[in-house]
Structure 1
Amino acid sequence: MSDNIPFEIQIEIMKKLPIKSLIQFRSVSKSWRSLIDSSDFISHYRTHMQHLLVSYTVDDISDTKYLSIVDDDTFPNQRVCLHVHSFVNMLNCGHIIGNSHGLLCSYRGYFKDHDNKTRGMAVIWNPMIRKSVAVVVPNVARGGDYHTILGFGVCHDTIDPKIVKITCIEKHCIGNNKLSSLVRESISSIPWQVEVFTLSTGVWRRPYNNLPRKSIRFASYAKVVDGVVYWLADDVEPGYSICNMIMSFDMTTEEFKEIKLPDSLAQPDSLAQPDKRLLISKLRDALIVLDWDGIRFYDIWMMDSVSQSFTKLFMVNEDISLVAYIHGFRKNGEAIFEVSDNGHSSELVVYEPNSKRFDYIDGIDGSYLTFYVSSYIETLLLLDQPDLTVYNENQTFKYRDDLFQELNLFSG
C-alpha cells in the first residue's frame, strides 16, 4: 500500500482481505504486523467467505483427512487439503466436538495420568493459520454412576473460546423403572457437575447456580449456534416417563436453559420404530432438529432463536436405495448426506429440497460413519496465542515430548 494512504484507510482495507493475504502482510512492515497481531484486530476481523469443513478417514482410522470447500456458486470445485496440527494428530482417535467462530475443538477422553486421575485432552485449533493450543480436561467421569460430556464455543461478546464440561448421572440411574429412579434420587449432588475453561484466563472454574436438573441426560454430541451450545437431552418426568428436549448453554451469560420440543418430537421413540431417533445440526445461524427413521427418511425442523419455537422446513423421503445420514447443510439450505450401499465405504451427496435432487460430490470417499461436515468461516483467533501451549489446570507450559510422556497426556 502507498505511504500516501492514511493508516486508518489501510486498516479498513486489511479488514476485508482473506487470511492468507494477512499472514503474508505480517512480513511487510512492523506496523502492519503489530496491527494484524493486535487483540482488537483479531477479535473484530470478519470475512464473508463461507467454507465447509469435511473430515473423514480412509481405511486407517488414525489417518484423518481434512478438506475445506468454499461454499459459494463454485461449490464444490474450490477445495484444499487442510494442514492438520501436530496436537490434533497426537489425539489419535480424538473427534471434533465443536466448531465456533472459525475454531475447531477436538477431544479425546479417558486416560490416566501419573497420579492415576482420569482426564481428557481437548485441542482448540485454527486450520487457517495452522495454530492450536491443548487443554487438559480434569475430573472426567467414566463408568460407575456418572459420565462426562463437553461443549465448545466462542463467547459472542468477548470472542473468547470456552469449553464447558458437564458431569451427568449415568443412564442406568435414569431408567424407565422405579428402581433406577430411586437410585437417581439417592444421589444428593453430582461431583464437578459443571466446569468451564476460558482461554483468556487459562483455568477451569465452577461458579454456577443454575445447574441442570439431575434427571436430565445429555447426548454426547453438541452444536454451537451464535455462541450458544445445544444438546439433545431427555428428562425423566414424574411417573417415570421420558421426554425428549433440548438443553442449551450460553457462552456469554453462562446459563443453562431447557427448550421444549414440539409434541411429535418430545415423545420418546416408539417400539414400532425402534431405529427412529433425533439428531441436531445447524443451518446458517439456526439450530436444526432432524427426525430420522434410522435409514434415509428425515423431517427437518428449524428453531427460532428468539421464540425458541420450531417450524418444519421440509421432508426428505426420497428412496435413493442407500443408507443416508445427514451431516450438515450448505448456507443455501441444501443438505449434505453421507451415503453408503455396502456399510464399509461412503460418499457425500448434496440434496436440493425444492427439486428433490441428489448430486454426488466427486473425489470424497471415506470409511463408513467417519465423516464430519460443518460450515465455518475464516478467523484470526489464536494468532496472538503462543503455539504449542498446553493448559494443565493451574499450570501452563510449552509442549515437550519428555514432559508429555511423563504426564501421559496423549497416550494410553
Structure 2
Amino acid sequence: MDIMNRIPVKSLLQFRTVSKQWKSYIDSFNFIRDYGFREIHTCCFNLTYKRGLEGFMCSVDENFVYTPLNVNFNIPLSTPIATSEGVWCFSFDANTFLFLWNPSIKKMVGTLVPNYTNQPDSPKMLFGFGVHPDNLDPTILKINYPLYDQGSWYVSVFTVSSRRWYNLESYCLPRESIRIKRAGQAVIGGKIYWVGSEKFYGDDGISFKIYMLVSFDLITHQFQLIDMPEQLGVGVFSPPYSISQLHNSLIISGSFNFGDMRIIYAWALQIDDGEVSSYSMIFNIPYQANHQLKLLGFNKDEKPIVEANDMHNIPHWLQVFNPTVGRFQNVGVEGNGGSFFIGPYKESLVLLTELNNELM
C-alpha cells in the first residue's frame, strides 16, 4: 500500500482492476486524501483555446512541446471557469450546464445550472469553483447580482458530495454594493479569491471605484472582503486587473501607460487570517503601446505567460517572457481573443469514486 501511494495515476487505475480489495483501498477517501495533488515534472501546464470554430486542449512541457489531450467533451461549446487541485470546471451551452473534469483519470461529472424564479439572472452572473481542502469535495458557486448598483446578491452552492444546489443566507454574503471582476480567480488555502470593486461618488458627483479582494471560504461557505495595500497601485493604474496564482501566492496583475510604451506588472500577495501579510512586485515589463497583454500564468521557470494581440491583427498569440532579449515572444499558438486558459497539471484522484459522466 505504501508503494501504491508513490506511483503515477495511470498505474493506479490499472491496479484497481487487480482485485476488489485493491480497488476498495485505492477508492477509499483516506487513500485519495493521502495521495494528494502531485505536479508532474515533465508537464508544465494544460492549455485550452479556440481558433475559429475549433477547440483545442493539450499538455505543454517546459520546452513548449504541445501534446493533444484526449477529452470526452465538446471543446468549442465549453468555456473554462477555473481549475483547482487538478480538476477543471467548465460551463457548457450558454451557461445552462456545468461540468467538472479530471484529466488525470478522464472522469467527468456535471450538473444543470439552477434558474430560480426569485433570483433574476443578469449579465453580472459568474461562477466560482474550488476543491474543499479537508474532504476534497468539489464545490461550485453561481453568483448573481443586479446589473446596476442597487439590489441583493443571490448565491447558490453545489457540492459533489451532496449532489444538490442550495442558497446561501444573507449573512454569508458581502455588501450589496460589491461587484466581482470576472478576470479570473485563484484558490489558495481553502479559499477562492477574486478581484472586487465598490463604487463611490465624490462631492462633485463623479464616480470612482475602490478595489479589494473578495474571498469565499470553501469550509464555512462565507464571503470576506480584504483590503489591498496602496503600494500595489490598484486604483491608480488603469484597470482591468486580473488575478491568478503562483504556488501559494496570490498574483494581481495589470498594465499602465508609460510614455510611448505600456508596462505590464504583477504583485505576489500572501494572505494570512484574512489580511494581506506581505507583498512584493515580481515583474514590471515594458512593451509596445499598440499591443495588449493579459497575464495567464507562469512556466516552470516562473516566467510570465500572456495572451497578446495588437490593433492590426485579429488572431491572439500565446507568448512567454524571454529575459535574454527582454521581451515577450510567441510560442507557436494562435487563437481567438479571450479563449486561452491554462492550468497547472496535477495528478489527482478527485472524482475517482463519482459516477462517470453522470448528470446530477
Query: 1:230, 1:365 → 2: CA distance?
Result: 29
Q: Percent identity?
A: 30
Query: 2:335, 2:13 → 1: CA distance?
Result: 32
Displacement of 1:250 in angstroms is 1.4
Map of 1:123 onto structure 2:
99
**2:55–2:76 CA contact under 8 A, matched in 1:** no
Q: What SS does the corresponding residue of 1:15 show, helix, strand or coil?
A: helix
Map of 2:60 onto structure 1:
69
Map of 1:197 onto structure 2:
158
Aligned pair in 2 of structure 1 residues 18, 243: CA closer, same or farther (>3 Å)? Answer: same
Q: Which has the higher helix share?
A: 1
**1:25–1:32 CA contact under 8 A, matched in 2:** yes
1:21 aligns with 2:11: yes
Aligned pair in 2 of structure 1 residues 152, 124: CA closer, same or farther (>3 Å)? Answer: same
1:133 aligns with 2:109: yes
Displacement of 1:75 in angstroms is 3.2
Aligned pair in 2 of structure 1 residues 338, 296: CA closer, same or farther (>3 Å)? Answer: farther
| Cα-Cα RMSD | 2.7
**2:127–2:142 CA contact under 8 A, matched in 1:** yes
**1:99–1:376 CA contact under 8 A, matched in 2:** no
**1:197–1:204 CA contact under 8 A, matched in 2:** yes
**1:349–1:361 CA contact under 8 A, matched in 2:** yes
**2:172–2:221 CA contact under 8 A, matched in 1:** no
Aligned pair in 2 of structure 1 residues 385, 315: CA closer, same or farther (>3 Å)? Answer: same
Aligned pair in 2 of structure 1 residues 267, 224: CA closer, same or farther (>3 Å)? Answer: closer
Q: What SS does the corresponding residue of 2:181 show, helix, strand or coil?
A: strand
Displacement of 1:200 in angstroms is 0.4
Q: What SS does the corresponding residue of 2:6 show, helix, strand or coil?
A: coil
Displacement of 1:128 in angstroms is 1.9
Displacement of 1:246 in angstroms is 1.5
Query: 1:367, 1:297 → 2: CA distance?
Result: 23
Map of 1:83 onto structure 2:
70
1:324 aligns with 2:302: no
1:39-118 alignment runs, 5 A limit: 39-46=29-36, 47-49=38-40, 51-60=44-53, 63-70=54-61, 74-77=62-65, 79-86=66-73, 89=74, 92-108=76-92
**1:260–1:266 CA contact under 8 A, matched in 2:** no
1:214 aligns with 2:204: no
Displacement of 1:352 in angstroms is 4.6
1:164 aligns with 2:141: yes
Aligned pair in 2 of structure 1 residues 59, 207: CA closer, same or farther (>3 Å)? Answer: closer
Q: Which has the higher strand share?
A: 2
1:277 aligns with 2:227: no
Query: 2:94, 2:21 → 1: CA distance?
Result: 46
Post-superposition Cα deviations, 1:372-410, rounded to whole Å, max 9, x if no partner, equal 12223111111101112111xxxxxxxxxxxxxxxxxxx
Displacement of 1:133 in angstroms is 0.8
Displacement of 1:58 in angstroms is 2.2
Q: TM-score, normalised by structure 2?
A: 0.84
Displacement of 1:16 in angstroms is 1.5
Q: What SS does the corresponding residue of 1:383 show, helix, strand or coil?
A: coil
Q: What SS does the corresponding residue of 1:128 show, helix, strand or coil?
A: coil
Say which one has the larger Rg.
1
Map of 1:34 onto structure 2:
24
Q: Number of aligned pairs?
A: 340
Aligned pair in 2 of structure 1 residues 55, 137: CA closer, same or farther (>3 Å)? Answer: same
Query: 2:337, 2:225 → 1: CA distance?
Result: 34
Map of 2:267 onto structure 1:
301
Aligned pair in 2 of structure 1 residues 167, 323: CA closer, same or farther (>3 Å)? Answer: closer
Query: 2:6, 2:79 → 1: CA distance?
Result: 32
Displacement of 1:94 in angstroms is 3.0
Q: What SS does the corresponding residue of 1:300 show, helix, strand or coil?
A: strand
Q: What SS does the corresponding residue of 2:13 show, helix, strand or coil?
A: helix
| Letter in structure 1 aligned against 2:254 | D
Map of 1:406 onto structure 2:
none
Aligned pair in 2 of structure 1 residues 203, 244: CA closer, same or farther (>3 Å)? Answer: same
**2:184–2:242 CA contact under 8 A, matched in 1:** no
**1:160–1:199 CA contact under 8 A, matched in 2:** yes
Map of 1:343 onto structure 2:
313
Q: What SS does the corresponding residue of 1:169 show, helix, strand or coil?
A: coil
Query: 1:148, 1:38 → 2: CA distance?
Result: 36
Query: 1:358, 1:237 → 2: CA distance?
Result: 37
**1:291–1:298 CA contact under 8 A, matched in 2:** yes
Q: What SS does the corresponding residue of 2:10 show, helix, strand or coil?
A: helix
Displacement of 1:345 in angstroms is 2.2
Post-superposition Cα deviations, 1:86-139, rounded to whole Å, max 9, x if no partner, equal 3xx1x853311110010000014757xxxxxxxx31111112211111111213
| Letter in structure 2 aligned against 1:81 | P
Aligned pair in 2 of structure 1 residues 377, 160: CA closer, same or farther (>3 Å)? Answer: same
Aligned pair in 2 of structure 1 residues 155, 354: CA closer, same or farther (>3 Å)? Answer: farther
Aligned pair in 2 of structure 1 residues 310, 355: CA closer, same or farther (>3 Å)? Answer: farther
Unaligned runs of 5+ in 2: none
**1:223–1:230 CA contact under 8 A, matched in 2:** yes
Unaligned runs of 5+ in 1: 1-10, 112-119, 175-183, 392-412
Q: TM-score, normalised by structure 1?
A: 0.74
